[in-house]
Amino acid sequence: MAWWKDAVIYQIYPRSFQDSNGDGIGDIPGIISRLDHIRDLGADAIWLSPVYCSPNADNGYDISDYRDINPEYGTMADMERLIAEARRRDIRVIMDLVVNHTSTEHWWFRQSRDKTSAYADYYCWADGRGDGKLPNNWTGFFGEDCWEFDPQRCQYYLHLFAKTQADLNYHNPAVVEEVKDIMRFWLEKGVAGFRCDVINILYKDSLENGKKKLALTGSEHYLTLEGTHEILREFRKVWDEFDAFTVGETVFVTPREAQDLCGLDRRELDMVFSFEHMECDQVFIKWFKTKFKPRKLFACLTRWQKSLPWNALYLENHDQPRSVSRFGSRAHPLESGKLLATLLLTLRGTPFIYQGQEIGMTNFDFTRLRQLNDVESLNVDRVLTRLHVPQGLRWRIIAPTSRDNARTPFQWEGGDGAGFTTGRAWLGINHNCKDVNLAAQEEDPNSLFHWYKDLIALRRDTKVLRRGAFIPLESTRQVFAYRRELPGNDPLTIVLNFSDNPATTACRGTVLRDNYGRETFDGTLQPWEAVILA
Ligand code: TEU
Ligand code: CA
């Protein structure tokens, strides 16, 4: 049963959601204590960023034990209680499945250092090319080399992400079986499915040199290859046993490749997170930001809406800067926040809301690298330093792109600790929590939080918004308009003005929702006005 076609999914970054014991780190009992907020918002499922045992080089995306919970977050009993408490509120739990790599502290990796062990072929080991040269010329996702020498085994291992995230070897059928067992373990505990981390890069066809590129040299050897499709179909056998839901995080995929990854007849994934629309404000790579051009976003969304039967919709996650800071307006934070909410909740697909998005949390207000934790930002700073880029410029590159922008603690209240912790938070709390917090927005019927809540409810009650086709109507430098239609249902028209300036549109209709509270519509649009017309 495709429950996920009617669902809104809420992403939790456990470290920053709610601390329950004053150590400054969010935890599972904290999440349980906030389930009512998620119910109140109207979400049907939560996706938890990793809570497994991990030395936290990449905050849980480096797993050292897939069958246990990071003690900072709680115990397996807490996790079981979370699943049960969520179920009691009709909320499904989706786990993050991070199986492209494990932590080098995972016992598979420790064993793998010994060439004679049963785990010898679990990772991508290779010899250097003589006189201290690396096995090939590939570069990693975090801006650095992707090979590390292991003195015990006297070989290099591949790590496309941080040094302590070693890539698994998917040429080894034993690895595929291990992952299937891990998935069964969690599905038997009652989780509803998985968000599959960088799932389109599992299979590396060879470790040959790649074509030199500005970023990710070597990626033609692992991006969305047939070997990965085969592995997904193998995983799918387990998913089908449990009727599990899956969304793949798929880096650098085209609509064509996405069709193959989640085509109904192919029995691979249910949907994918694509990245193209996250690239509308960058040149070449994510660290070179340029002015956001709404028209690029409209074109990109339109292409994906038209190419795929179903999309995973998102504007934020734990890797991306905050959407109001990025696509919205400083002059109109509330209106632009509501407009972005309207976009997310009226496209065709399954909307994912990232914690804090529903109250318009912004990018961090840090001023120095020292305040950051993100392994990617710290690596990039090291690389830029090596290239003699001066400190001021380094900060100007890193600050707007750092993943920590989305990782500051949830702003529940305005006071010290923002209701997140009674202790010292592991990552700085944004000082704007005095103005931007849930408690204040709950009181204010005109708040962004109430707008999200209202649109989620509208979506739940309006079949055309959930299942209708997407028909593009207008796409100018600032206005995006589209229709959702479904035989036997009244169509809806959505008009969005992505600008601090007014605009006009040819669209007309009776107002169902308007973020300026207007009751009639004559085709003129205020700055950042969002209208749903019947
Ligand atoms: O991210 C994969 C990914 O490619 C990017 O989003 C990444 O965060 C970065 O921007 C690359 O430049 C996933 C997870 O979402 C991320 O948190 C992990 O760090 C990464 O995989 C490794 O597991
Ligand atoms: Ca805690």
**CA 324–ligand 1 middle distance (angstroms):** 21
Q: Quick one: pLDDT at residue 127?
A: 97
Residue type for 534, please? Answer: A
The Cα 513–Cα 493 span in angstroms is 11
User: Which domains does the chain show, CATH number per domain?
Assistant: 469-533 (2.60.40.1180)
Q: 146 by DSSP, 3-state: which?
A: coil
**CA 354–ligand 2 middle distance (angstroms):** 20
Beta strands 350-354 and 312-313: pairing type?
A: parallel
CB neighbour burial string for 479-505, b if at least 16 within 10 angstroms, e if fewer: bbbbbbebeeeeebbbbbbbbeeebeb
**CA 26–ligand 2 middle distance (angstroms):** 5
Q: Which residues line ligand 1 (CB under 6 A)?
A: 58, 61, 98, 141, 161, 197-198, 249, 251, 286, 318-319, 376
Q: 108 by DSSP, 3-state: which?
A: helix
Nearest partner of 113 among 150, 146, 148, judged by Cα:
150
Q: Quick one: pLDDT at residue 288?
A: 87
The Cα 20–Cα 23 span in angstroms is 8
Substitution candidate for ligand 1 out of 102, 103, 197 with most atoms within 8 A of CB: 197
**268 a catalytic residue:** no
The first and second tokens of residue 378, run together, are 């710290």
Catalytic residue among 197, 276, 316, 335: 197
* Angstrom distances, CA of residue 63 to CA of 53, 59, 82: 6, 9, 20
Q: Would you give the DSSP letter of residue 442?
A: H
Instruction: Write out the DSSP string of 347-412.
Output: SSSEEEEETTGGGT-------SGGG---HHHHHHHHHHHHTT--HHHHHHHHTTT-GGGGTSPP--
Q: Quick one: pLDDT at residue 13?
A: 98
Say if residues 212 and 205 touch (Cβ distance below 8 Å): no
Q: Quick one: pLDDT at residue 22?
A: 98
The Cα 18–Cα 33 span in angstroms is 8
Q: Quick one: pLDDT at residue 417?
A: 98
**197 a catalytic residue:** yes
> Is the pTM value of this prediction over 0.75?
yes
The one-digit pLDDT tens for each residue of the chain (534 residues) are 799 999 999 999 999 999 999 999 999 999 999 999 999 999 999 999 999 999 999 999 999 999 999 999 999 999 999 999 999 999 999 999 999 999 999 999 999 999 999 999 999 999 999 878 999 999 999 988 999 999 999 999 999 999 999 999 999 999 999 999 999 999 999 999 999 999 999 999 999 999 999 899 999 999 999 999 999 999 999 999 999 999 999 999 999 999 999 998 999 999 999 999 999 999 878 888 899 999 999 999 999 999 999 999 999 999 999 999 999 999 999 999 999 999 999 999 999 999 999 999 999 999 999 999 999 999 999 999 999 999 999 999 999 999 999 999 999 999 999 999 999 999 999 999 999 999 999 999 999 999 999 999 999 999 999 999 999 999 999 999 999 999 999 999 999 999 999 999 999 999 999 999 999 999 999 999 999 999
Substitution candidate for ligand 1 out of 51, 139, 161, 200 with most atoms within 8 A of CB: 161
Catalytic residue among 249, 281, 316, 381: 249
Q: Would you give the DSSP letter of residue 58?
A: T
Say if residues 202 and 100 touch (Cβ distance below 8 Å): yes
Ligand 1 atom with the shortest distance to the CA of 375: 19
Nearest partner of 402 among 432, 437, 436, 427, judged by Cα:
427
What counts of helices (H) and strands (E) characterise the chain? 15, 24
How many Cβ atoms are within 10 Å of 454's Cβ, its own excluded? 16
